[in-house]
Amino acid sequence: MAARPSEPTWVEVHLGVFRENLRSLRRVLHRSVQLILVVKANAYGHGVAGIARAAARAGVRWFAVAHAAEVPAVRDAAPQADILVLGPIQPAEVPWVLQYRATPVVVDLEHGRALAAEARRRRRTLSVHLKVDTGMGRLGFHWAEAAESLRALQQEPGLRWTGVCTHFARVEAGPGDPASVQYERFMGVVRAAESMYGERLMRHASSSRAMLLHPEWDLDAVRPGLAAYGYGASDPAGRVITRPILEWKSRVAQVRRVPAGQPIGYYGTYVTPAPTHVAIVATGYADGYLRALSNRGHVLINGRRCRVVGRVSMNWVAADVGPYGTVRPGDEVVLIGRQGNQEIWADELATLCRTIPYEILTCIRATIPRHYVGS
């Protein structure tokens, strides 16, 4: 049998760092506060199965996804976990979430009635969380109309209300934080809902940034996402420090010696100012290395920062590796991560692309192999 081709590009996820991130987050929470790990979008590009499995082994008992279709991968990796679906499911998906023991949110009166009817049709009761729009302007019961809608839903058998949540549109440090208005609106809905249903509901509002800046909003649970993966929590004076856990790597496919005045790549957007060597790297925008990094980004080769030159193409990136000819085909290339004493992380690439680390990480093609180091 012929040898399997080597991987042109791959991701390494460092589980030891991930576990330490989780410990850091858990350490600052009261023991009564649940940590709901957000693993939507393939665990922010880190690979949902590997991340959920590692987190469950580290003691995480709650996970959150965006869509019902994401639930099975989490359930397979964490058989005993509670799984929250943050986006509205369709009535046809009720059997799916019942089968996989997931908890969906209800986002408006019509949605609640439809889910309740489907649950009754199957002679089941569906555990749900109430999602309140307190100012995000996206999903959920409008905060000012939530109590009236809840009264109507009280008459709908088939649903069991177990939690209530919201999402902040903007969170800032200090007393003038605009999220404070959302928080007060949320707590007003919470009080009305609990009075109506006669029992305490699981309350959760804070994602990573709110958790880092407002401990007083921890409530019954927090929903860290990006902070668990190592971004947005690097301030030594902050509540928590976490470190990136993902490295993205590739290999040099060819090295060419080129003269001064040589155009590189499509439309010759870069022209070499002096004789140099150009390494062709086996990664491109089809893999998620954004085209906006053309003539802007850097990669690490042999412990050195090498500038990306020319346009990023579908499967290839060109990097100027200097005049000395020390780089060889097969050499490892770091796109995100550390090599020697040099580092490139997703937040650096995000700044260059005028975007956010979330996009950089989630754009890494899901079919690129994820290798879990330190499992």
Question: What are the distances in angstroms from CA 86 to CA 37, 63, 223, 233, 270?
Answer: 12, 10, 11, 23, 45
Residue 16 forms part of a structural domain: no
* Cα–Cα nearest to 255, from 276, 283, 228: 276
Taking the C-alpha atoms of residue 109 and residue 107, their distance in angstroms, rounded to an integer, is 7
Q: Side chain identity at 372, as an amino acid letter?
A: Y
Residue 18 forms part of a structural domain: no
What's the alpha-carbon Rg for the chain, to the nearest Å?
24
The number of domains in the chain is 2
Based on the domain organization, do 221 and 255 belong to the same domain?
Answer: no
Decide the pairing of beta strands 246-258 and 276-281.
antiparallel
Based on the domain organization, do 75 and 169 belong to the same domain?
Answer: yes
Based on the domain organization, do 82 and 117 belong to the same domain?
Answer: yes
Report residue 92 as tokens.
């046809």
Burial per residue of 328-341, b for 16 or more beta-carbon CB atoms within 10 angstroms, e otherwise = eeebebbbbbebee
Based on the domain organization, do 45 and 161 belong to the same domain?
Answer: yes
Q: CATH number for the domain including 105?
A: 3.20.20.10
Based on the domain organization, do 224 and 258 belong to the same domain?
Answer: no
Q: In the chain, what percentage of residues exceed pLDDT 90?
A: 92
Maximum CA extent, the chain: 78
Residue 156 forms part of a structural domain: yes
Q: CATH number for the domain including 271?
A: 2.40.37.10
Residue 280 DSSP class: E
**Domain that residue 315 falls in:** 246-373
| CB hemisphere CA count around 290 (13 angstroms) | 22
Residue 3 forms part of a structural domain: no
Q: What is the mean pLDDT of the chain?
A: 95
Based on the domain organization, do 224 and 252 belong to the same domain?
Answer: no
Of the residues 199, 229, 259, the one at which a domain ends: 229
Residue 334 forms part of a structural domain: yes
Report residue 37 as tokens.
């790990």
- Contacts of residue 245, defined as CB under 8 A and 6 or more positions apart, other chains included, come to 13, 14, 15, 17, 18, 21, 46, 229, 230
Predicted confidence (pLDDT) per residue in 302-345, tens digit = 999 999 999 999 999 999 999 988 999 999 999 999 999 999 99
- Of 40, 44, 229, 270, the catalytic one is 40
Residue 22 forms part of a structural domain: no
Report residue 231 as tokens.
């971004």
Of the residues 202, 229, 256, the one at which a domain ends: 229
3-state helix, strand, coil in the chain (%, to 5): 35, 30, 40
- Of 197, 229, 266, 270, the catalytic one is 266
- Strand partners for 263: 271
Distance spanning both ends of the chain, measured CA to CA: 30
Residue 43 forms part of a structural domain: yes
Residue 173 forms part of a structural domain: yes
Is the pLDDT reported for residue 3 higher than 70? no
Predicted confidence (pLDDT) per residue in 223-256, tens digit = 999 999 999 998 888 899 999 999 999 999 999 9
Is the pLDDT reported for residue 375 higher than 80? no
Q: What angle do CA 139, 141, 147 make, to 5 degrees?
A: 165
- What are the φ and ψ backbone dihedral angles of 63, each rounded to 5 degrees? -135, 155
Predicted confidence (pLDDT) per residue in 59-88, tens digit = 999 999 999 999 999 999 999 999 999 999
Based on the domain organization, do 221 and 78 belong to the same domain?
Answer: yes
- Tokens 């359930």 sit at which residue? 75
- Contacts of residue 155, defined as CB under 8 A and 6 or more positions apart, other chains included, come to none
Say whether 183 is catalytic: no
Based on the domain organization, do 190 and 333 belong to the same domain?
Answer: no
**Residue 324: CB atoms within 10 Å:** 8
Say whether 289 is catalytic: no
Burial per residue of 46-57, b for 16 or more beta-carbon CB atoms within 10 angstroms, e otherwise = bbbbbbbbbbbe
Report residue 112 as tokens.
């609640």
Based on the domain organization, do 69 and 147 belong to the same domain?
Answer: yes
Based on the domain organization, do 284 and 350 belong to the same domain?
Answer: yes
Q: What angle do CA 178, 346, 337 make, to 5 degrees?
A: 145
Of the residues 203, 229, 255, the one at which a domain ends: 229
Based on the domain organization, do 197 and 321 belong to the same domain?
Answer: no
CA 130 to chain centre: 23
Based on the domain organization, do 82 and 149 belong to the same domain?
Answer: yes
- In which band, very low, low, confident or very high, does the pLDDT at 356 lie, cut at 50, 70 and 90? very high
- In which band, very low, low, confident or very high, does the pLDDT at 176 lie, cut at 50, 70 and 90? confident
